[in-house]
Chains A and B, each alone.
Chain A
Amino acid sequence: MKEIQEYEKDLASIRTMMERSAKFISLSGLSGVLAGLYALAGAAAAYFTAHYPISPLKFRIFSIRETDTLLKLVIIASLVLGASLATGFWLSAKKAKKQGLKLWTSSSKRMLVNIAIPLVSGGLFILILLYTDHFGLAAPASLIFYGLALIQGSANTFDEIRYLGFSEIILGLVSALIPGYGLIFWSLGFGVLHIVYGTIMYNKYDK
């Protein structure tokens, strides 16, 4: 018969193994904070491209219909997305190494596949919106589909991702109700929320 502490260790090891094997625990909180900062910088650049000199809180009177402006906005958005993804991969790979795990595990693969489905559908939908001149709904749609993707992915990682997903969806729906303020809601959703949840996750899991 084993010592009682040994049985307690057994229970603890069951918990660790279940979590480690089912969840992607190398997701870096710090990369969330950085993604939020990139998004805010991108939103500022977008503001000066399409909105300036009108206050960001005032309803936009210009249309972004001109191809030149639209192209610039698409480039800014792509840069933000690219930088966020690169940072996310880099910092999560670093965290995985520190934990003695691999970045590419069955749980991280499953998470990516789950996220990709709503994300790709949403991306295509937004391209169609832009193509058919429904610019006003592009920002709300990006928030809603991103939120859905996070909720899908949250099954295989930290619970905070699930709450972040719900927050993005709510923000997207409110944004759809108040047209013309897409950039503000976009900055809140992709900038502020990422920084808030990234900080929570950094304090809870990165240290």
Chain B
Amino acid sequence: MKNPFENLDKALEHRIRLQIMSVLVTNDAFEFNALKEMLGVTDGNLASHIKALEREKYLTISKSFVDKKPNTKYKATERGRTAFKKHLDALEAVVKQQK
């Protein structure tokens, strides 16, 4: 049998990145502050992980103003969704193999 560990996505190994993608694949779009509350992380922490995911082209960023306040929204890309699904399958395979 092929080693399922090979299918794990390096960019998604970090749990916070994995959680960001989990939220984005279930929702159309998600706003920075809502995401921060959902995950319970600091601004800087969230921003750095989002940057990493953006570099992989797993999400897109759209900035706008709502009531004169900056509003930043994130969306999962098709590439991000595929990667997330592949990583999820690999995780399941890894856990299954150990049982």
Q: Which residues of A contact B22 (CB under 8 A)?
A: 13-14, 17-18, 21
In whole angstroms, how far apart are the Cα atoms of A34 and B78 in the complex?
A: 45
Binds B, one of A4-12, A132-140, A187-195: A4-12
Chain A interface (Cβ within 8 Å of chain B)?
1-2, 4, 7-11, 13-14, 17-18, 20-22, 100-102, 105-106
Interchain CA distance A7-B88 in the complex, whole Å:
10
A-B contact pairs, 24 of them (CB 8 A): A1-B5, A4-B95, A7-B95, A8-B95, A9-B15, A10-B91, A13-B15, A13-B22, A14-B19, A14-B22, A14-B88, A17-B19, A17-B22, A17-B26, A17-B38, A18-B22, A18-B25, A18-B26, A21-B22, A21-B23, A21-B26, A22-B26, A22-B27, A100-B40
Which residues of A are found within 8 Å of B27, using beta-carbon distances? 21-22, 106
What is the 8 Å Cβ interface bit string for chain B, positions 27-40, against chain A (1 contact, 0 not)? 10011001001111
A residues less than 8 Å from B91 (CB atoms): 7, 10-11
Is B18 part of the contact surface with A, judged by Cβ < 8 Å?
Answer: yes
B42 at the interface (CB under 8 A from A): no
Number of interface residues of B (CB under 8 A): 23
Chain B neighbourhood of A105, CB < 8 A: 34
Residues of B within 8 A of A (CB): 5, 13, 15, 18-19, 22-23, 25-27, 30-31, 34, 37-40, 88, 91-92, 94-95, 98
Inter-subunit contact A18/B23 (CB<8 Å):
yes
Residue from the list B15, B31, B34, B98 in contact with A10, Cβ < 8 A: B15
Q: Is the interface of B mostly helix, strand, loop or mixed?
A: helix
B74 to chain A, nearest CB (A): 12
| Closest partner residue, chain A, to B37 (CB atom) | A102
Find the A residue at minimum CB distance from B31: A106
Give Cα A20–Cα B23 distance, bound, in whole angstroms.
Answer: 8
**B18 in contact with A10 (CB, 8 Å):** yes
Q: Are B13 and A2 in contact (CB under 8 A)?
A: yes
Q: Which residue of A lies closest to B39 (CB)?
A: A17
Given contacts A11-B95, A18-B26, 18 further A-B contacts (CB under 8 A): A2-B13, A4-B94, A7-B91, A7-B94, A10-B15, A10-B18, A10-B91, A11-B91, A13-B22, A14-B19, A17-B22, A21-B22, A21-B30, A21-B38, A22-B26, A102-B37, A106-B31, A106-B34
